[in-house]
Structure 1
Amino acid sequence: MKIVIIGGTGLIGSQLTNLLKNQHEVIVASPNTGVNTLTGEGLNEALENADVVVDVSNSPSFADDDVMNFFRTSTTNLLEAEQKANVKHHIALSVVGTQKLSESGYFRAKQVQEKLIGESSIPYSIVHATQFFEFAGGVAASSVKENGMFVTDALVQPIASSEVAAFLAKIVDEKPKFGIAEIAGPEKMPMNSWVENYLNAMQRPSNITIEKNAPYFGAVLENDTLIPEKAVFESKIRYEDWISNPQNQR
């Protein structure tokens, strides 16, 4: 099969490419490789004779207007190109809890992306993943204010990005689900504990104040907002074991 990976040079895309390239013809599609889903540059050429398209791209800016423009324009252009190329399966990576986070501009944009996919004539599968282990540092950085670090104690169930890539590789060889599949890590934990574990592993001060209403991408979380309702896959890789590996401490 010919597989086109949109966002193929990113964290998930590069791992997915490595998993698939020995079994399939894989096209790594990103602005760096001459394929731009926002402008349409190189898109038709990349999708010629493609069987499956996997979209793991993300907006370079998380500002509300920018992220909405990215997901709406990129997804519209991509689906139109897929129709021309007679693509048989569109796979998109999204986030557990997306449908519950309308307060957040980022997640409103993801909702639009998923709606466009569902209304298209292209057979599709949407994978909702929980937060990647690698994102703990970003959550920590975004939680810093002038007078300290404030993190919610709402639950998370983070997952290794390698497991997300492996699940997507499996979906490539399956029939379209015409719906959402949720995946997660093996453990539920308060977000403040997840961030604290990361900071301790980095040997950085972890003076965290728990603030229930501390926003996550602009949205206040309920206790189980980011927990899957019915995960079809739970990884066996525990965060504590993953972060103890020096190669993962970046």
Structure 2
Amino acid sequence: MDYEEMNYQSLSSRQREWDSSLAFPALMRKVYVWMTLALVITALSAYGVATNPVMSALIYSNPIVMWLLVGAELLLVIGLGAGINKMSLMTATTLFVVYSILNGVMLSSIFFIYSLGSISTVFMITAATFGAMSLYGYVTQKDLSSWGKVLMMALIGLIIATIVNIFVASPGLTLIASYAGVLIFVGLTAYDTQRIKQMFLTAPDAGEHMQKYALLGALTLYLDFVNLFLYLLRIFGKRD
């Protein structure tokens, strides 16, 4: 290997390191920007449906429409997760926006249950809690990977308890599940943030391929935020 070849490889290596160092903050920024935009879209969609009597009647007077919305949301989440590598960034972004709108339509029911002031207060509490835990997951030197299995098992237990409570309608179980849900999604916020950070620390660039993974990261944190908000709303929300 001659001097010129060695020099070229050295320059290439430094260039890759430079590209990687630039990619990390760009990708993390995209995660939070996309997550924030999705939350805004969801909030506007929810409020828009709640204040439109025609839309509200169409959705809530027909169980079939509700089941179609639930099915569409599930298909979108599964499709994004499983098919992200086969999609263009534009297609993935469009599906993410559509999911945010559909989720807003589904969440419009909270405006018929809780006062607007209560919803606003709980949203601010959620934002502060989410921000603190996401910051912790970002800056901590502690390896949070061990949290993953525990939190996923707890989440499965929470889902089972929620399904059971549909039939038994126990206020006590509802309250316990709400507190458990808060703890689970507080933990998941920190865990998912660290996992996303670690993935992008070694990103070779901020090209379309990695941006699609940033979109998936935004979806993950978006779901953590929304679920944390809903469980906090069940605890602190004031009903109309």
Output the TM-score relative to the length of structure 2. 0.25
Task: Name the structure where helix makes up a greater proportion of residues.
Answer: 2
Task: Name the structure where strand makes up a greater proportion of residues.
Answer: 1
Q: Which has the higher contact order (CA 8 A, sep 6+)?
A: 2
Output the TM-score relative to the length of structure 1. 0.25
